[in-house]
Amino acid sequence: MEENKCCIPVPAGFSAAHTLTGGQCFRWTERGGRLCGTAFGRYVEMEQNDRGLTVYGADGKECDSLWRRYLDLDRDYDAIRREVLAMEPRLADSAGFAGGVHILAQEPWEALCSFVISQNNNIPRIRGIIARLCLHYGERAVNGEFAREEAEGFAFPTPEALANVAEETFKEFGCGYRAAYLTDVARRVASGEIDFDDIKKAPVNEARRMLMSLKGVGPKVAECALLYGFGRLECFPVDVWIRRALETEFTGGTALLDSPYAGVAQQYIFEYIRQTGGGR
DNA sequence: TGCCAGGCGACGC
DNA sequence: GCGTCGCATGGC
C-alpha cells in the first residue's frame, strides 16, 4: 500500500474530506487524517495537505484516469462557487463553510442503489446496510487486503449480484421495507430494461422519468442518482434537511433552483446544516 | 423512551 | 392533481 502511491495537485479550496464524507456516498471514513474507502472496486487511502492529495494504493496512471475524475478535480469549482453566490447571497454561510465540496462522479449504479437505501433512513444506518451488502455480495476489491474494516475490502455489488438476492435476505441485512425496492431495481437494471447509457444521453427530464419508473425511486432519489452518478449538476435533491433550510434560511424562494449548478449549492447547504446547525 | 431519518407508494378525495 | 398515512429499523 505505502509503496504504491501518487500525488495529485488539487485546486486551492478543494476539500477531500468534505467531498468524501459529506453524505454524497457512504463508503469513506476518516481515520487519523486519512480518508479510507472503496470506489470502482479499488480500496485506497487519501491524505490531503497543502501540497496536494496523496493517494495510497494507486499509481500515477490510475490517479489520472480514475481518482482525478472521481473527485471532479478538473472542473473550475471556484467559478461555480462565485456564480451561485452571485445568484443567492444568502448562500454565503454555507459556501464559506463547505465551499471546498466537489460533486463526486460516482458509478451510476452505486449512487442509485445507495440512495434507494437512504430513503427515510439515517446516515449511520445507511452506511451499515451498504457495508453489509458489499461484504456479502461484492467482489474482492483491489488492495482489499489493506482495508482496515473488512467490508471496505469489497467492491459495491453489481446489479447482477443483487438481482439474485431474495427480498427476505435484504430484510435480514436491515433494509426494512426497502428490500422490495432493491430487488425490483437490481433486477430491472441487471436485465437491461433500465439502461444507464440511455439515461446518460437523455435530457434531464427524460432521465428523471426513466429513473422514477423504478419502484422505490421518487423525485428525491432520482435527483440524487442524477447528481452524484450522472454528473447532472443542475439537479437539486430536496430531503428533510434541505426542505427545512428552504423554509427558514431561503424563504420566499431562491434563484438557486434554476442554476446549472444547483446541485453544488445544495451540497454546500447540506454540509453546513449537518455539521453546524443541524447537530444530530 | 420516543422521535427521527438524504422518501416513497398507496389511497382517498 | 393533491394531502395523508403506513412503512422497518436502529441512532440518538
Q: Is the CB of A39 under 7 A from strand B?
A: no
In this predicted structure, the answer to whether residue A3 has a pLDDT above a threshold of 90 is: no
Q: Residue A15 CA to B8 C1' — how many Å?
A: 33
**What's the CA A125/C1' B4 distance, rounded, in angstroms?**
13
Name the amino acid, one letter, at A187.
R
- Segment A31-60 shows an average pLDDT of 97
Window 160-219 of chain A: CB closer than 7 A to strand C? 171, 174, 176-177
pLDDT at residue A279 greater than cutoff 60: no
Does residue A36 surpass a pLDDT of 80? yes
Q: Tell me how far apart the alpha carbons of residues A235 and A252 are, in angstroms, rounded to a whole number.
A: 20
Q: What is the DSSP letter of A43?
A: E
User: Does the CB of A111 sit below 7 A from strand B?
Assistant: no
- What is the average pLDDT score of chain A? 97
What does the alpha-carbon distance between residue A128 and residue A151 come to, in Å, rounded to a whole number? 10
> Tell me, what's the pLDDT at A278?
60
A1 pLDDT more than 90:
no
Q: What are phi and psi of A258, to 5 degrees?
A: -100, 5
| CATH of span A108-229 | 1.10.340.30
Output the distance from A1 CA to B8 C1' rounded to whole Å.
42
At residue A55 the predicted structure's pLDDT band, cuts being 50, 70 and 90, is: very high
Q: Could you report the per-residue pLDDT of A199-220, keeping only the tens digit for each?
A: 999 999 999 999 999 999 999 9
Q: Which residues pair with A45 in a beta bridge?
A: A36, A56
In the structure grid, which three cell numbers stand for residue A64, read together?
Answer: 489520472
Nucleotides of B under 7 A from a protein CB: 4-9
Residue A120 Cβ under 7 A from any strand C atom: yes
**Shortest CA distance to A223 belongs to which of A118, A99, A127?**
A118
Write out pLDDT tens, residues A84-125: 999 999 999 999 999 999 999 999 999 999 999 999 999 999
Residue A277 pLDDT exceeds 80: no
Domain edges within chain A: 5-77+93-98, 78-92+233-280, 108-229
Protein-proximal positions, strand C, CB < 7 A: 7-12
Q: A61, A200, A215, A220: which is the annotated catalytic residue?
A: A220
Amino acid at A66: L
pLDDT value, residue A2? 80
CA of A156 to C1' of C11 (A): 24
Mean pLDDT of A233-241: 98
Catalytic residue flag (residue A220): yes
Q: What is the mean pLDDT of residues A33-38?
A: 97
Q: What distance in Å separates the CA atoms of residue A24 and residue A45, rounded to the nearest whole number?
A: 18
Q: Residues A148-190: pLDDT tens digits?
A: 999 999 999 999 999 999 999 999 999 999 999 999 999 999 9
What architecture (CATH level 2) is domain A5-77+93-98?
2-Layer Sandwich (3.30)
